[in-house]
């Protein structure tokens, strides 16, 4: 690497939006200074930013054919996904999906893998290898699903302990959801926390059906569990599941809510649950395009913002979203909530997800620290950088280019 300098009309450091700012770094890649741009600086138009963090994806569902039909709720969508019977991914599909996420501006990704469900831990390692090959940092979370003690033990054994499998890419266990995991499995899979590990994320309260199951053992998920139990005589699913008004309430009762937990979806979360999320410092991981496709609704984002909750964004899978473009998720929220400061969505695109990654996160943009991957988005250069952000979030397919630090130019 050569020492270099770059200047942009707007710079997002991860914490602040700066107008006409410049960066200078040394030959070792250390950031030396962030200063106002000089008159002689050639300005990159638009925004220069730390890379996006896709805080929820399922790369293993990158089958051709587009999204599974939705609109009737998560239970119907799960049944339709099973009926599709996609089978193994075509050769190159996993690598192609990881590369597409990188090309869309992601520096890091939190993936959910069904490897534990299939008792095939090598599948999670394959996802991790595809991420590393695409230049992504992050974590592959091996999803555990189960209620009975033997099933719980087998799932945890298949997922294995947290481990780093490539530079900046980890594999760790997680639980699928409060509607599919016994309380003991939720504790065991989500409880591995600490400064040396990436945080866990878990599907939570995606649908009103989740609440009906956990509170009353009723609704579509209850019928789903009863159908599975018919194949396993003596399987008392109703007694093995946790019971609470919601998934958030159950996780709170189990002592699992906190800053090292990401709650994915929260589409059906009630005001009391939003209070719990914000008070615990947990992160709400929003996947609005997937939510709109599957349930026809968006999560209660305004309520989360009013409570000061932490936000991150994810694309979910290509079975429920058209692509892995995280900027399109932010654009949907910006359109739904036009009065919200657009910097809120930029924070959710970047530092909101990075906070969950721990050692898998790219370093922050800070003087004296290594320069992280920097993303250039050549949106219109306007006098007010926030107006430029609004333009960036208008739904247009803005090109994305990674800064080439050897020359100080985007490519």
CATH architecture of 4-50+366-410: Roll (2.30)
Rounded Cα distance, 112 and 114, in Å: 7
**pLDDT at residue 118 tops 90:** no
Residues 6+ apart with CB under 8 A from 232: none
Closest C-alpha to 47, from 369, 343, 286, 326: 343
Question: Region 78-107: what's the mean pLDDT?
Answer: 90
Of residues 246 and 161, which shows the higher confidence score?
A: 246
Q: Which two tokens stand for residue 370?
A: 């290594």
pLDDT recorded at residue 13: 94
* Backbone φ, ψ for residue 176 (5° rounding): -65, -55
pLDDT recorded at residue 120: 66
Is the CA virtual torsion 254, 242, 244, 190 positive or negative? Answer: positive
Beta bridge partners of 9: none
The answer to whether 66 and 322 are in contact (CB under 8 A) is yes
CB atoms within 10 A of CB 87: 7
Label each residue of 104-151 as H, E or C: CCEEEEEEEECCCCCCCHHHHHHHHHHHHHCCCEEEEEEEECECCHHH
| Residue 53 pLDDT level (bands cut at 50, 70, 90) | very high
**pLDDT at residue 313 tops 80:** yes
What topology is assigned to 52-360 in CATH?
Answer: TIM Barrel (3.20.20)
Count how many Cα atoms sit within 13 Å of the Cα of residue 235 in the half-sphere of its side chain: 18
Question: Region 190-194: what's the mean pLDDT?
Answer: 83
pTM (two decimals): 0.95
pLDDT recorded at residue 116: 62
| Residue 142 pLDDT level (bands cut at 50, 70, 90) | very high
Write the DSSP symbol of residue 17. Answer: E
Helix (H, G, I), strand (E, B) or coil at 203: strand
Residues 6+ apart with CB under 8 A from 47: 8, 9, 10, 11, 12, 376, 377, 379, 385, 388, 389, 392
- pLDDT tens per residue across span 233-273: 888 999 999 999 999 999 999 999 999 999 999 999 999 99
pLDDT recorded at residue 408: 41
Residues 6+ apart with CB under 8 A from 302: 337
Burial of 216 (0-12, 13-18, 19+ CB in 10 A): exposed
Helix (H, G, I), strand (E, B) or coil at 36: strand
Question: Region 144-153: what's the mean pLDDT?
Answer: 93
What are the boundaries of each domain within the chain? 4-50+366-410, 52-360
CATH topology identical between 4-50+366-410 and 52-360: no
């Amino acid at each position: 690497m050569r020492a270099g300098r770059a200047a942009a009309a707007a710079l997002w450091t991860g914490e602040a939006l700066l107008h006409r700012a410049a960066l200078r770094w040394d030959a070792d890649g250390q950031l030396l200074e962030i200063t106002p741009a000089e008159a002689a600086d050639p300005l990159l138009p638009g925004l220069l930013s730390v890379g996006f963090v896709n805080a929820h994806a399922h790369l293993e569902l990158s089958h051709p054919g587009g999204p599974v039909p939705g609109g009737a709720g998560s239970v119907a969508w799960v049944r339709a996904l099973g009926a599709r019977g996609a089978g193994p991914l075509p050769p190159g599909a996993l690598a192609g999906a990881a590369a597409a996420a990188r090309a869309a501006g992601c520096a890091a990704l939190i993936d959910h893998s069904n490897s534990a469900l299939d008792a095939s831990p090598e599948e999670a390692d394959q996802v991790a290898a595809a991420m590393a090959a695409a230049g992504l940092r992050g974590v592959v979370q091996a999803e555990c699903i189960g209620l009975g003690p033997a099933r719980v033990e087998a799932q945890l054994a298949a997922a294995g302990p947290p481990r780093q499998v490539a530079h900046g890419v980890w594999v760790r266990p997680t639980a699928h959801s409060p509607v599919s995991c016994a309380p003991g499995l939720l504790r065991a899979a989500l409880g591995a926390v600490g400064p040396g590990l990436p945080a866990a994320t878990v599907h939570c309260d995606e649908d009103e059906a989740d609440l009906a199951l956990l509170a009353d053992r009723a609704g579509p998920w209850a019928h789903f569990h009863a159908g599975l139990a018919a194949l396993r005589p003596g399987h008392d699913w109703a007694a093995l599941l946790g019971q609470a008004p919601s998934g958030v309430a159950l996780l709170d009762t189990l002592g699992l809510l906190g800053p090292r937990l990401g709650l994915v979806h929260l589409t059906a979360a009630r005001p009391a649950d939003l209070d719990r999320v914000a008070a615990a410092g947990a992160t709400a991981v929003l996947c609005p395009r997937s939510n709109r496709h599957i349930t026809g609704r968006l999560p209660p984002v305004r309520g989360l913002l009013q409570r000061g909750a932490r936000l991150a964004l994810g694309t979910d899978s290509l079975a429920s979203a058209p692509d892995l473009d995280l900027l399109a998720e932010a654009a949907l929220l910006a359109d739904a909530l036009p009065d919200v400061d657009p910097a809120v969505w930029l924070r959710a695109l970047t530092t909101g997800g990075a906070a969950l990654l721990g050692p898998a996160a790219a370093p922050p943009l800070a003087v004296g620290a290594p320069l992280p991957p920097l993303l250039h988005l050549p949106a219109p250069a306007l006098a007010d950088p926030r107006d430029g952000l609004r333009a960036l979030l208008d739904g247009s397919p803005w090109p994305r280019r990674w800064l080439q630090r050897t020359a100080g130019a985007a490519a």
